[in-house]
Structure 1
Amino acid sequence: MDISTEFTHAIAPGALPVLGHAPHLMRDPLKFLGSLSGHGDLVTIRLGPRRAYVPCHPEILRHMLVDYRTFDKGGPLYERAREVFGESLGLCPHARHRHQRRMLQPAFGADNIAAYGAIMEQQITALTASWRGGHAFEAFPAFFRLSANTAMRMIFGAGCTDEAATAVQQSIATLTRGLAVDLLLPKVTQRLPLPVIRRQTKARETFLTSMDRLVAEHRVRPHPASLLALLLDAQGEDGRPLTSDQLREQAIAFLSAGTDTTAAALTWMFLLLAGNATAQRQLEDEVDRVLHGRPARFADLPELPYTRRVVTEALRMRPPGWVFTRATTARTTIAGQVLEPGSLVLISPCTVQHRPDVYAQPEEFSPDRWLPEHASALPRGSFAAFSNGGRKCIGDEFAMTEATLTLATVASRWRLTPEPQTDPRPKTLATTLLPRRMRLRVTPRHESSTEPGTLADTNSKRK
């Protein structure tokens, strides 16, 4: 298949003066991005005065993600993120990527994921410990605390206090959500004394100070089962031990990548499940058979295939990392269009994960489309929630494990129902795809769900 000529190109209609298509992205990103494949396989849009090319066909998307030399991490989103977070694994250009990937890969091997599973179990138990029938909570903030606490303890080990975790959580939340301003609004607005800009500046100062203190403490008293302990023994590209700045950058990378996205995925997951009684019932049947009312453990994961399919389907329908950018490093031709060096490419999983010619009834929540016999028939590049190629998210299995354990543990004892005031429309000016408002009400699935392990106890008494 010739990527340069065998596909179609189009210019998206509806661009507004000065702002281009940015208002459409802010108002309803799912609808706008999902509509682009109806115009062509590669579609040109405008973000302010700048053109951006959007791949809308699985093969083009895959090509751009796999050829990460030509389509390097760049554009306004990454430029600003590097200013805030540094050139860590997820943000560095191609020239620095290979060394960092090799240095960090051991942290995400099978043995370490199993060890992180124990941390996840503890944090999930802490999240649900206070739940009682009728309890209601804001979904995303609760799941954000869960994922941030898990990530902090994975990075810093048992030495990470609740106070330190809270300080970092609050600032990282402001920083990551504010990055969309740099992508969607004209550059001139970033110099204005807007509240969002002031919050970004203050959050950055708090965040860097907190992270520097944690890294310094870890150098004095390292905790063995932690990412930083691994990095303290690693070498930089110059063959020397990592500096404190480099340690901080890598810690920041995993914290920023492993909090908002996992929390958003869990938020959408319970919203989608609440709208599909069949999927809810199948999920509950599986966790009842495997868990008998107890929390899920890492060792249970092979027995929870439907639960994992629920996670995957939620990521297909509502990918938290809904947009990221690339910048071309060489002249290249895609779908008959010549992209000069420095061209901006806007990549979104939504453009291919909602195509009706790839996924039958794409707006239907259907976890069984991920049964092996169905998933194997999908074209390459049709699922990109974790990106693809050499720069695929290094923590993809970490995130899948955390989401699966959380979903299984909750479903084994509770049913979470969105409150009537829930607003499922995507939040504006957010780098992570989120519903605008979502409160969940807790309903026990079993009469004695207020006490841990009671379903298992009841079952044993019946025997």
Structure 2
Amino acid sequence: MPRRAESPVLPPAPGALPGLGHVLPLLRAPLPFITSLSSLGDVVKVRIAHMPAYVVTDPELVRRVLVSSDHDFTQGRVYEKLAQFLGEGVGTTSGRKHRRLRRLIQPAFHRDRIAEYADTMRAAAESTIADWRPGQEISVDSAMNDMALTAVTACLFATEMTPQAAAEFRESILTLFHGAVLRTLLPTAWEKLPTPGNRRYRRAITVANRVIDETITTYRAPGQRRNDMLTLLLDSRDDDGDALTDQQIRDQVITFLFAGVETTGATVAWALHEVGRHPEAEKRLHEELDTVLGGRPPTWQDLCALPYTSRVVTETLRLHAPWLILRRTLHPVRLGDVTLPEGAEVVYSPYALQRDPRHFADPELFDPDRWLPERDGAGPRGAFVPFGAGVHKCIGDAFALTEITIALAVICSRWRMRARTDVPVREVAAATTHPKGLTMTAEPRFP
């Protein structure tokens, strides 16, 4: 029997520095760096300090990692870092534990529940724009993050926090968001240093946990029944009749907040930015909203009648996707011509995949109509994965799409957002890619 050919040895991508590897380009210019790797091969080796990682740039191989061979992988380095404050949330666990948590949590994201959340999402969007004035300059990135935090918090907790607790909670969650990716790239030893950022990060974990624990205690009091996500988590039981512990519930709440605030807020902000600088897209969006809604607030039932709005959201998700997702091999795994060792960190980038000209025509162009059925613009399987795929696909994808679409409908029904040409917008890679410095001028659409 002929011997099987050995897997070729992958040299690291160019630009690695002694002791640091590719940490500097990942910190200084992460998006240009990650998108450049597809020209080097289907699997590209990089180094994060002394740790090798393998970036998968081919959509079919990405789909194998996420779907057909998902049993060969577990969550990677980033999720170990996130577990410092996400605990054993559905986003950080793998295997049997992940499957159990997903089954217990799924009722909170049932279609009927999301339909009920839609009114809360609309109220959060309306509250956000209630104080806008004609000609006012809006810090859109900040405003949309605040809106998303208001919406997801209201869906989680029907009861209102005290103003002080709400302010502390909001600040702690945002601090955790901003520190998450940095801790993924830097050595573990750095986290132990008494830097101001590390102290803020640890204090944020303490505050967030305390506020959630106090809320759970309140909900467990006799006679306390509410129609919200936290109540569903408290009531959920597995096949053996076992419930989630208070710590497991807290971990899910933190996970929902982490996944549902910055990503959703950034997507709405990017959608406003793209519509604001593409007059034809703005015109068609406004026409659809005026025709379908006629000046009234959007409802869950309206969403299926807003196809162009939906395509705007989908195209925004394509252009401004998460930039770095990791998995880890459980044993040697062959991907294409390369055999990865056990324990290898495997990276894929929705951002890079969805801007690859091999899969999307004119990938830098904002073109909602590429998602028309007759255009078949979704690319090959595995090329469009803003929410992931397979067993670890984001459990809240329908929740997020509903919130983004409703927020965009509420805002664009009433306001025309004008970009400030003198203020550059930076695309920053954090937990997702978000628009730093996005300031727009609000103009009322109707007197």
TM-score normalised by the chain length of structure 2: 0.93
> Which residue identity lines up with residue 281 of structure 2 in the other structure?
A
Kept after mapping to 2: 8 A contact 1:55/1:351: no
Kindly provide the amino acid, as one letter, of the partner of residue 388 in structure 1: A
| Range 221-230 or range 159-168, more displaced | 159-168
8 A Cα contact 2:323 2:351, kept in partner: yes
Partner SS state of residue 298, structure 2 = coil
Deviation at 1:327, TM superposition (A): 0.9
Deviation at 1:268, TM superposition (A): 1.5
Per-residue CA shift, 1:209-252, capped at 9, x if unaligned?
Answer: 11111111111264431112112222368743322112211111
User: Which residue is 1:365 aligned to?
Assistant: 366
Q: 2:226 aligns with which of 199, 202, 224?
A: 224
Distance 1:163 1:153 in 2: 16
Residue number in structure 2 paired with 1:260: 262
Aligned pairs for 1:68-217 (under 5 A) are: 68-75=70-77, 77-160=78-161, 163-217=164-218
Corresponding residue for 1:56? Answer: 57
2:324 aligned partner, one-letter code: V
2:438 alignment partner in structure 1 = 438
Q: Distance in 1 between matches of 2:21 and 2:276?
A: 36
Match of 2:398 in 1: 397
Give distance in 2, aligned partners of 1:237 and 1:419: 55
2:325 paired residue number: 324
* 2:258 partner letter: S
1:6 Cα deviation from its structure 2 partner: 12
Name the CA distance, whole Å, in 1 between partners of 2:207 and 2:6: 50
Q: Decide whether the 8 Å contact of 2:323 with 2:352 is kept in 1.
A: no
**Unaligned stretches of 5+ in structure 1?**
449-463
- Is the CA contact (8 Å cut-off) linking 2:21 and 2:47 kept in structure 1? yes
Matches within 5 A, 1:223-302: 223-235=225-237, 239-302=241-304
Residue pair 2:7, 2:338 contacting (<8 A) in 1 also? no
1:175–1:204 CA contact under 8 A, matched in 2:
yes
**Contact 1:231–1:247 under 8 Å retained in 2:** yes
C-alpha distance in structure 1 between counterparts of 2:244 and 2:357, whole Å: 48
Asked whether the equivalents of residues 99 and 237 of structure 1 are also in contact (C-alpha less than 8 Å), the reply is no
SS of the residue 1:402 aligns to:
helix
Partner of 2:306: 304
Is the contact between residue 277 and residue 419 of structure 2 (CA under 8 Å) also seen in structure 1?
no
CA contact (8 A) 2:8 2:338 kept: no
Return the offset for 1:123.
Answer: 0.9
Pair 1:9–1:277, CA change in 2 (3 A): farther
Name the SS for the 1:43 alignment partner.
strand
- Distance change in 2, residues 1:332/1:157 (3 Å): same
SS at match of 2:297: coil
Cα pair distance change 1:299/1:161, threshold 3 Å: farther
The whole-number CA distance in structure 1 between the counterparts of 2:363 and 2:211 is 43
Number of positions where the alignment pairs a residue of Structure 1 with one of Structure 2: 441
- Cα distance in 2 for partners of 1:139, 1:390 equals 34
Residue 410 of structure 1, CA deviation = 1.0
Instruction: Give the stretch that moved more between structures: 222-231 or 359-368.
Output: 222-231
Structure 1 residues 371-394: Cα deviation after superposition (integer angstroms, max 9, x where no partner): 122337621111111001111101
1:278-317, Cα deviation, whole Å (9 max, x unpaired): 2112111111211223332222101111111111111111
1:163-208 Cα distance to aligned partner (Å, 9 max, x none) = 5433222101101210112222233322222222111011111111
Query: Conserved in 2, the CA contact under 8 Å of 1:103 and 1:234?
Result: yes
- Equivalent-residue separation in structure 2 for 1:397 and 1:181 (angstroms): 28
Rate the CA distance shift 1:314–1:87 in 2: closer, same or farther, 3 A. same
- Tell me the residue number matched to 1:25: 26
For structure 1, which segment, 31-40 or 394-403, has the greater mean C-alpha deviation from structure 2 after superposition? 31-40
CA gap 1:279/1:147 in 2 versus in 1, 3 angstroms: same
Paired with 2:306 and 2:362, the residues of 1 have a C-alpha distance of 25
CA distance, structure 1, for counterparts of residue 83 and residue 385 of structure 2: 23
Greater shift in the superposed pair: 385-394 or 248-257: 248-257
User: Take 1:34 and 1:233, find their aligned partners in 2: how far apart are those partners?
Assistant: 44
Shifted more, 40-49 versus 159-168: the winner is 159-168
Secondary structure in 1 matching 2:183:
helix
Pair 237,142 (structure 1): closer, same or farther in 2 beyond 3 Å: farther
Query: CA 1:21–1:422 in structure 2 vs 1: closer, same or farther (change >3 Å)?
Result: farther
The change in CA–CA distance for 1:322 and 1:237 in structure 2 (over 3 A counts) is farther
1:358, distance to aligned residue in structure 2 (A): 0.6
Distance 2:344 2:442 in 1: 48
Q: Per-residue CA shift, 1:142-175, capped at 9, x if unaligned?
A: 1111111111111122445555433222101101
| Distance in structure 2 (CA, Å) of the matches to 1:107 and 1:206 | 25
Is the deviation greater in 433-442 or in 406-415?
433-442
Cα pair 2:360 2:377 within 8 Å, conserved: no
- Secondary structure of the 2:39 match is coil
Tell me, yes or no, if the aligned pair for 2:12 and 2:47 is still in contact at 8 Å. Answer: no
C-alpha separation in 2, matches of 1:373 and 1:164: 51
Q: Deviation digits for residues 343-381 of structure 1, max 9, x if unmatched?
A: 011221022111111100000011111112233762111
Gaps of 5+ in 2: none
Q: Do the aligned residues in 2 keep the contact of 1:7 with 1:335 (CA within 8 Å)?
A: no
TM-score by length of 1: 0.90
Between the aligned partners of 2:336 and 2:253, the Cα distance in structure 1 is 39
Aligned 8 A contact 1:72 1:327 in 2: yes
Cα distance change on mapping 1:423 and 1:202 into 2, 3 Å: farther
Alpha-carbon distance, 1:338 to partner: 1.6
